[in-house]
Structure 1
């Protein structure tokens, strides 16, 4: 699945940008939320998600790059998120955060930074619907994929498969474009966040088809 990240979109025409990539054939809309603490940048909050939700029917894949995500989960649930992903590193109570998301009726994701071991996932296998392996350090768009993270993608996929959790998505975010997407797929990913690879291109349909074509090669 292709999930364009609106972090790379033109915020001045955000609804039009989202409509365009949906018409171009994307699967999800990836929404990066940054608090200026867990990561250096500051991005959008629940009101923007709520405003988009009134006009957009696509799956909203909300990635919370925030400290203490437990404080923000209810607001993003109310705003219309479909999937909420929290960082393993962002709270000492990650199990509680995942349970909060699932109890709200939403799908729960767990994100792992490039330097974070997947070992902790072994205690949370029953509590996730998605695992997001960050293939760059979070906080900025336009970075190059960190090659060592592909081995982590493979390890996460192996852990899930051995636990009988083939239903859990493995998502990758960072440096994904036509030249890297197949490597990520071969490692075990099935959801691909693409920011500049989609929004920096004038023809978004062609950009998304180029990613799909790379997966078919």
Structure 2
């Protein structure tokens, strides 16, 4: 399983040091939550900070857009050449076009589902994307408790992908820790995003406990 620390939980007073530390401690991706204060009730970081993260990181970036006007933000962050840009199905009316736009930048397109959103909403998109990010908390703030029925959703998604797009990865974000990582792995998760769990302890040890 790949591990993607969410820098939402990092100490922004020493962000460059934090990015270098998680990379040195063996993470696979650096997960960046971009919130605009409209789609979710929180405001995080813009391109100036992401540029700094890109310069400090030796690992690929994984940018999660929690915004309105996805097209604008894709153009804003594509120059930093992240591995993934993911956007919410709940906000995007032209998902196929946006996925192709992301791919035209040489970036892997990914779709995100909020906890309440049905898998049916992305059934016909699966063949056009490279990853599905399943939210296991309500997006907007870190440190929330894992929503347990997410495991059933992931299992169902895995079955759908076997038919529609076996190469598409599953990522999970929200309340991930050593207490649920094994069940997530068994359910079919390929990439685990963890913020509070990793940044509240020894980074190397916490990442190691998630790599099952």
Pick the TM interval, shorter chain. over 0.9
Contact 1:118 1:156 in 2 (8 A): yes
- CA deviations over 1:2-25 (Å, ceiling 9, x no partner): 000000000011111011011111
TM-score by length of 1: 0.94
Distance 1:167 1:15 in 2: 33
Aligned to 2:184: 184
Distance 1:13 1:94 in 2: 36
Question: Could you tell which deviates more after superposition, 130-139 or 143-152?
Answer: 143-152
Aligned to 1:4: 5
Cα deviation for residue 148 of structure 1 reads 1.2
Mapping 1:1-217, distance limit 5 Å: 1-163=2-164, 165-201=165-201, 203-212=202-211, 215=212
Aligned residues: 211
Question: Could you tell which deviates more after superposition, 110-119 or 42-51?
Answer: 42-51
Equivalent residue of 1:37, what SS? coil
TM-score by length of 2: 0.96
Distance 1:209 1:5 in 2: 16
Unaligned runs of 5+ in 1: none
Cα deviation for residue 106 of structure 1 reads 0.3
Contact 2:19 2:56 in 1 (8 A): no
Distance 1:199 1:22 in 2: 13
The CA RMSD measured in Å over matched residues stands at 1.0
- CA deviations over 1:69-100 (Å, ceiling 9, x no partner): 11110110013322100000012112221111
Distance 1:49 1:167 in 2: 28
Equivalent residue of 2:123, what SS? helix
Unaligned runs of 5+ in 2: none
